[in-house]
Amino acid sequence: MKSFLTLLTSLCLVFAFVGEAQAKRFGGGGFGKSHKTTPFFKKKQEPQKQADQKNGQNQPAQKGRGLMGGMLGGLLAGGLFAYLLGSGAFEGIQFMDILLLAAVAFIALKIFRSMAAGQRQPAHAGVSSNGTGQAMQRQSVEMPPKAGAAQMFDTGSSHDETPLNLPQGFDVEAFVQGSLEHYRTVQQAWNDGNLEVIEEYVSAPLFAGLKQQRERLMVPPQTEILDLNAEIVRADQTGSVAEISILFRGLCKDELEKSEDGIFDTWHLERDTAVEGSNWVIVGIEAE
């Protein structure tokens, strides 16, 4: 019974560490609505993707080092845990033993997160975030469609394709650039604990969950966005409600832990077109 309670306590500590790590970035862990999404950039951009892959293949030694580092770190953590189990360390276990187990689990978690982040490195670097601050506000339906905006996407008629029904005259470039600015704004507000700013961007149900997550943080996060780019991955209309999903990819740094993590977040936004002057509101976040 005593061993079971010890194990249970250790697991609780591990899950606490995981929750703390997710909450350091706005929307970490995911909240609210979700939709099936697909990047819509045309296949003509494949040569650039192939060039990026070729550049990645020119660094096999670096990838090997990362893989070996992860394997060795995992073996070290696993070996220590096995030693504790096999040596009877759970007999007469003390509080420091519990902390040691939690530390081992936390190190293993960081290793796995680092390996996953390495696989999600952004494909593009140096994307400007100086977009218009009004990009999430109402797009005029009277203006003619932006020339070339629809050409950015593959709008084939496949029944399995994720919908891309953009409002007439929708300024894709301005929306994407503005979204990059908004992403940085809400992350800074999350760092500062400025929930009033965050409330302006999200729906009421989403805000309730985010507020609860932020208030549980014992130490204010210090997350810096190092690199960020975005693309629209879904757009549709349900009645009078316009829907858009935008995917953010990039890199962020945890100033407290001096570690870097990949960004792969999707915001699901809605706007009621029946309400004049209504703004886009985040109703769901999917974050890895």
Q: What is the pLDDT of residue 5?
A: 46
Q: Helix-strand-coil percent breakdown of the chain, rounded to 5?
A: 45, 20, 35
Q: What is the pLDDT of residue 180?
A: 98
Q: Is residue 201 within 8 Å of residue 285, measured between CB atoms?
A: no
Q: Is residue 31 within 8 Å of residue 283, measured between CB atoms?
A: no
Residue 196, classified by CB atoms within 10 Å of its CB into exposed (0-12), middle (13-18) or buried (19+), is exposed
Looking at residue 202, what DSSP letter applies? B
Q: Is residue 146 within 8 Å of residue 174, measured between CB atoms?
A: no
Task: Give the neighbor-by-neighbor strand order of the sheet with 281-287.
Answer: 31-32, 281-287, 259-272, 241-254, 223-238
Q: What is the pLDDT of residue 45?
A: 46
Amino acid at site 143? M
Q: What is the pLDDT of residue 167?
A: 81
Instruction: Look up the CATH architecture of domain 150-287.
Output: Roll (3.10)
Q: What is the pLDDT of residue 287?
A: 87
Q: What is the pLDDT of residue 278?
A: 93
Q: What is the pLDDT of residue 162?
A: 86
- Copy the structure tokens of residue 191: 């760092």
Alpha-carbon span 156 to 169, nearest angstrom: 20
Which segments of the chain belong to CATH 3.10.450.240?
150-287
pLDDT-flagged residues of the chain (< 70): 1-23, 31-99, 104, 108-110, 112-160
